[in-house]
Amino acid sequence: MVLEIVFAAGCFWGVEKNFEQISGVIEVTSGYAGGNYDNPDYHQVLANKDNNTAFNFLNLLKKISWSDKEDESDEHNKEPNKNTINHTEVVKVIYDTKLVSTEFLIKNFWELHDPTQTDGQGNDKGNNYRSAIYWTNDEQKQIALSTKDEYQALLNKKGFGEIVSELKPLDKFWQAEDYHQDYLAKNPNGYCPNHKTGVKFASKGMIKEKLSGTYNEHLKDLILEPLGDKEIIVIESDAYCPYCVAFKQKVLDKYKGSIPVRSVFAHNLKGYTIKTPTFATPTILFIENGIEKAGFQGYLSPQEFYKILGKFKLGDSKAFDIAFNEGTEGRFCKQYDIFKNTPDGVFVDKLSGAPLFDTNDRFNSKSGWLSFTKAIDNSTIEKPDNRFGMSRIEVISKSTGIHLGHVFEDGPNGTRRFCINATVLDFVADLKQ
C-alpha cells in the first residue's frame, strides 16, 4: 500500500535529504503545514514566526534606512494577525508499506532531531521550525502516539526533557517553492545541521533493502585511468544515493553523445588531476587529457548538464551561440555543405546524441539551410518566436533544450519545412528508429 505522512523536524532541507535515503520511500517533497492561513510561502512563514521577530527586525531596518525592501508585496510586509497560527517547515513522505513500515519512518523521525526543543531546532528559532507529525490515517496516529511514549522513556534515561512535538491529523500540505526542493542535492555544501539527541530505539521496525550487498557493487574493483581527450566522470556512492539514481535515470540513461561518460568510486580514480572535492555524490567531472576542466557536486538537471556539456564540448563557438543563444548560421555554411548529401542515416543532437531528423525526410529547399518535412516523432518541441518583428515557430531539441531552427508551412506538396542549423547536429549513418 502507498501512503503519505508529513513530518516537521527543523529546516526542511536536511529532513528531506534524510527521508529520501530510506529504501521504500517513493517521494519526499518540502512544504508547509500546521497553520491556519492559505497559500503560505517562505517569506510569510518566516515573518509569522514567534514574536514576529523577522517582521519587527525588517521594519526597524526600514526606519533607520538600512533596508530597501519597500517594494516587497503588502502580503509579505503586513504585520501578522494575532490570531494567526503559523505553518511549520515540513516534508511530505510518500512510501510503500511493502518495503518500509510506518513504524520505521516515525521512529526515524524521532531519532533525526531533538523533539524536546520548543519552537525550533538548534540555532533555527521560531515556530516555523517546530517539531510535528501530521498523520493521514488512524494507524499512523496510533504509532505516532505509542512511539512518542516509548521515546520519551528513552529520553528520560538520558536526562532530556519532555517531548513537545505537535501530533495531529494533516489538514493540508502546501508545497514549498521550487528552489527548496532537493536543495541539498543541488547544493551539497548547503546548510544541514545535526540536531539528533543520539538516543536510539532498540528496534525501528520493518524495512526491506532495495539491493543486497554493496550498492554499485559492479564499481567496487573498477579502476579508472585517463582516456585522453575529453571525457565525463561521475563519482558514485557505494551506499544508496537517491540523487545518483535520479541523475542516472533522467540524464545518463538517455545520453548517447560522443563524449564518453564513466562512473567510478572516488578512491578508484588513478592518474587524474582533480580540483573539485569528491565527497558528495554524484559529483560530475568534465575532464580533458586527465585534467579537470569543470566539476559540479550534486544532482544536475538535464538542462543544467547539457548547458555545461555544451560549453565543455563546443567552447566559445558558433555552435554554442546557436544552441544556447538562439543564433543562426550563415546560408550555405561549411557544415551545411557536409550534411546536404550524406548517405542514409539520422541527424542527431550534437550534445545528447538523440535522433532528430531522418534523411528520408530531407529535401533541397535551396535556402542554404538543412530542410526536412518533419522531425522524428517526440524528438523536438515547438514554441512561438515573435522576435525581430517576425512571427515564427522555433524548433527545440527535446532532450537538451538547445535551439535547432524554425519550422514553416511552405514545404513540398503541402508539407512543412523544418529549417535547421546544421552546426548543432551530428550525423550517424544507417541509424534508424
Q: Are strands 132-135 and 283-288 parallel, antiparallel or unpaired?
A: unpaired
Look at 122 and 153; give whichever has higher pLDDT: 153
The model's confidence at residue 433, banded by pLDDT at 50, 70 and 90, is: very low
**Which pLDDT band, with edges at 50, 70 and 90, does 416 fall under?**
very high
Last residue of a domain, one of 171, 186, 201: 186
Q: Which residues are catalytic?
A: 11
Q: How many domains does the chain have?
A: 3
Q: 310 and 360: one domain?
A: no
Average pLDDT, integer, range 81-98: 89
Q: How confident is the model at residue 231 (pLDDT cuts 50, 70, 90)?
A: very high
- Alpha-carbon distance values, 94 to 2, 130, 191, 341 (Å): 7, 21, 24, 53
Q: Give the neighbor-by-neighbor strand order of the sheet with 174-175.
A: 166-169, 132-135, 2-8, 88-96, 25-33, 174-175
Q: Please report the pLDDT score of residue 61 as a whole number.
A: 38
- Can you give the pLDDT at residue 394? 97
Domain shared by 305 and 336, yes or no:
no
pLDDT > 90? residue 213: no
| Confidence at residue 415, expressed as pLDDT on a 0 to 100 scale | 96
Compute CA 222 distance to the chain's CA centroid, rounded to the nearest angstrom.
Answer: 28
Q: What are phi and psi of 389, to 5 degrees?
A: 70, 15
For the four alpha carbons of 112, 116, 118 and 121, in that order, the dihedral sign comes to negative
Q: How confident is the model at residue 62 (pLDDT cuts 50, 70, 90)?
A: very low
Per the model's pLDDT, the better-predicted residue between 184 and 130 turns out to be 130
List pLDDT tens digits, range 305-358: 999 999 999 999 999 999 999 889 999 999 999 999 999 999 999 999 999 999
In what helix (H) or strand (E) does residue 153 lie, and over which residues does it extend?
helix 138-157
The reported pLDDT for the residue numbered 81 is 62
pLDDT value for 80:
54
Q: Are 289 and 333 found together in one domain?
A: no
Cα separation of the two ends of the chain: 38
Structure confidence at residue 218 (pLDDT): 80
Is residue 131 one of the residues assigned to a domain?
yes
The pLDDT of residue 73 is 43
Predicted local distance difference test score (pLDDT) of residue 252: 95
Is the distance from CB of 270 to CB of 225 less than 8 angstroms? yes
Residue 357 and residue 290 share a domain = no
- Do 277 and 298 lie in a common domain? yes
> What does each C-alpha distance from 162 to 16, 114, 155, 286 come to in angstroms?
25, 10, 8, 51
In the 8-state DSSP scheme, what is residue 23? T
Last residue of one domain, picked from the residues 253, 286, 314: 314
Taking residues 150-168, report their average pLDDT: 96
User: CATH code at 74?
Assistant: 3.30.1060.10
Map 299-332 to HEC letters: CCCHHHHHHHHHHHHHCCCHHHHHHHHCCCCCCC
At residue 211 the predicted structure's pLDDT band, cuts being 50, 70 and 90, is very low
Q: How confident is the model at residue 77 (pLDDT cuts 50, 70, 90)?
A: very low
The stretch 130-156 carries a mean pLDDT of 96
CB contact at 8 A, 403 and 396: yes
- Please enumerate in sequence order all residues whose Cβ is within 8 A of that of 253, keeping only pairs 6 or more positions apart, or say none: none
Distance CA(213)–CA(210), nearest Å, equals 10
Asked if residue 209 has pLDDT above 60, the reply is: no
- Domain carrying residue 116: 2-186
Which of 202-206, 256-260, 308-312 is predicted with the least confidence, judged by mean pLDDT?
202-206
By the 8 A CB rule, do 404 and 380 touch? yes
- Nearest Cα residue to 241 out of 307, 166, 288, 185: 185
Mean pLDDT, rounded, of the chain: 88
Whether 348 and 297 map to the same domain: the answer is no
- Predicted pLDDT at 244: 86
pLDDT of 34 above 80: yes
Verify that 373 and 287 share a domain, yes or no.
no
CATH of the domain at 307: 3.40.30.10
Note whether 296 and 337 are same-domain residues. Answer: no
Q: Does any domain span residue 16?
A: yes
Question: Same structural domain for residues 141 and 69?
Answer: yes
* Residue 99 near residue 55, CB atoms below 8 Å: no
Contact 163, 155 (CB under 8 A): yes
Instruction: Phi first, then psi: give them for residue 270, nearest 5 degrees.
Output: -130, 130
281 and 362 housed in the same domain: no
Residues 19 and 154 in one domain: yes
